[in-house]
Amino acid sequence: MNKKILFLLLSICLGLFLLKGNVFSLELNVESEKVDEINQEIDKYQQDIEDLKEEEEIYEQKIQNARKDVKSLENEIYILKTQIAQKESEIKRKQKEIDSQTLIIENIQKKILKQEKKLQEIKNQIKHLIQILNLYDNKKPLGMLFLENSLSQVLNQFRYLNSLHSKINDSLKASKTIKEGLGAYEVNLREELADLVSLKKDLRDSRASLQAQEQSKELILDQTRGVEWRFQSLLADVIKKQENIEREIKSLEQQARKEIKEKQEKIAQKLMEEEGRVIFSWPVPSTFITATFHDPDYPFRHWLGEHSAIDIRASQGTPIRAPAAGYVARAKYGGMGYSYIMIIHNDEFSTLYGHVSEFFVEEGEYVKRGDLIAKSGGMPGTPGAGRFSTGPHLHFGVRLNGVPVNPEDYLL
């Protein structure tokens, strides 16, 4: 083949290769514009989220101010309505956080796709460059250049070959950089997906809390019939019963510890000691908490004080199992009132199970971890639920030396 024709063909190959690279660059520019649009949408979500946070803070200030006022039916309903409005705003915010997070993930996925396309294109570039080199070497051995070409032609062709080698090296370096970037994007994607799962869980929790608050408002209106004197009578009755239960629990715990020591129940005591440091298993299959320890959103906090336990979601009649070995100090059936069980575990810890609907243990009985002790309740108007249960759940409390502590710190 004529030398000039060969050189022309090689130049055309290289020109087509460069043209293809320019087309790919245009495609990448289009992708970049899409990424920019997503970024703008994410920024808008972030602004909406900040606005909703400010709205929640305003509601919180209204709630705190209302709690300073005299306890009245009107004030209590106002607090509950404001809490509901605050929770609805919180749900909107969390939904926008989820939408924003979804866009962030979509953005990362687009960047990954863009980088993968770019990496593939670079691989194709390297392949084409090598094909051009092979074509040149097969048609014109380098040693023949000095025999058939002038010195200027030889230099031009060497420059051309060096340019090809340089482009291959540049492409290899770019390929390495893109692979490293892809690795970082993939790590980032996994982290953002984990955050999305967490946000969705928070949203479910907020919706459950909103439902409980709405039920609480309806419960108060139903029991007071919207009359102030009924509210005050109900409030006094609830406070009195709560104080009686608290005194009873403290007294029973002291008495139970004394009885264990006096009776010298060596077998039970030995079994409790064998477990070493007390770590509690979850008493019901669910680990979904609907009201936390000292929950600021607890509907009756204004009446009864801090929520000194956690409420665990459990359908009516769910089996309750002993979370650690212990001695049943109290199994109180309250009829249509409040029913509960208390277990003494060692010289320091005791546990409490509220809204029990059915008992499987008796006072004085020793239980091992995992033993069936009762069934859960809490459905309004059912035995053991009490007057202010808003739905099926287990009220689970942990006491350390007679003082309520956060059960989540001891659950495994």
- Mean pLDDT along residues 350-372: 93
* pLDDT reading at 117 higher than 90: no
Range with lowest mean pLDDT among 50-54, 117-121, 142-146, 176-180:
142-146
d(CA 111, CA 117): 10
Q: Are 353 and 393 spatial neighbours (Cβ–Cβ below 8 Å)?
A: no
Residues 6+ apart with CB under 8 A from 1: 139
Rounded Cα gap, residues 164 and 134, in angstroms: 11
- Rounded distance, CA 197 to CA 190, Å? 11
pLDDT at 74: 85
Q: Count Cβ neighbours within 10 Å for each residue of 324-339 and write b for 16 or more, e otherwise.
A: bbbbbbbbbebeeebb
Can you give the pLDDT at residue 350?
92
Closest CA to 290 of 384, 362, 364, 392: 392
Bridge partners (DSSP) listed for residue 78: none
Does the structure show a pLDDT above 60 at 5? Answer: no
**Do 282 and 312 touch, CB atoms closer than 8 A?**
yes
Examine the pLDDT at 263 and tell me if it is beyond 70. no
Please state the three-class secondary structure of the chain as a single string.
Answer: CCHHHHHHHHHHHHHHHHHHHHHHHHHHHHHHHHHHHHHHHHHHHHHHHHHHHHHHHHHHHHHHHHHCCCCCHHHHHHHHHHHHHHHHHHHHHHHHHHHHHHHHHHHHHHHHHHHHHHHHHHHHHHHHHHHHHHHHHHHCCHHHHHHHCCHHHHHHHHHHHHHHHHHHHHHHHHHHHHHHHHHHHHHHHHHHHHHHHHHHHHHHHHHHHHHHHHHHHHHHHHHHCCCHHHHHHHHHHHHHHHHHHHHHHHHHHHHHHHHHHHHCCHHHHHHHHHCCCCCECCCCCCCCEEECCCCCCCCCHHHHCCCCCEEEECCCCCEEECCCCEEEEEEECCCCCECEEEEECCCCEEEEEECEEEECCCCCCEECCCCEEEEEECCCCCCCECCCCCCCEEEEEEEECCEEECHHHCEC
Do the beta carbons of residue 375 and residue 358 sit within 8 Å?
Answer: yes
Q: Which of 153-167, 180-194, 201-215, 372-386 has the lowest mean pLDDT?
A: 153-167
Q: What is the CATH number of domain 229-409?
A: 2.70.70.10
pLDDT tens readout for residues 214-246:
877 887 788 778 788 877 787 777 777 777 777
pLDDT-wise least confident of 5-14, 84-93, 310-319 = 5-14
Domain ranges of the chain: 3-224, 229-409
The reported pLDDT for the residue numbered 322 is 95
270 has pLDDT over 60: no
Do the bridges between strand 372-376 and strand 319-321 make them parallel or antiparallel, or are there none, so unpaired? antiparallel
Quick one: tokens of 135?
């074509």
Could you tell me how far CA 224 lies from the centroid of its own chain? 38
Map tokens 């029913």 to a residue: 339
Q: Classify each residue of 50-75 as buried b or exposed e, where b means 16 or more C-beta atoms within 10 Å of its C-beta.
A: eebeebbeebeebbeebeeeeeebeb
- Candidates 359, 330, 351; CA nearest to 407 is 351
Q: How many residues are recorded in the chain?
A: 412
Q: Which residue has the higher pLDDT, 218 or 95?
A: 95
What mean pLDDT comes out for the span 323-330?
90
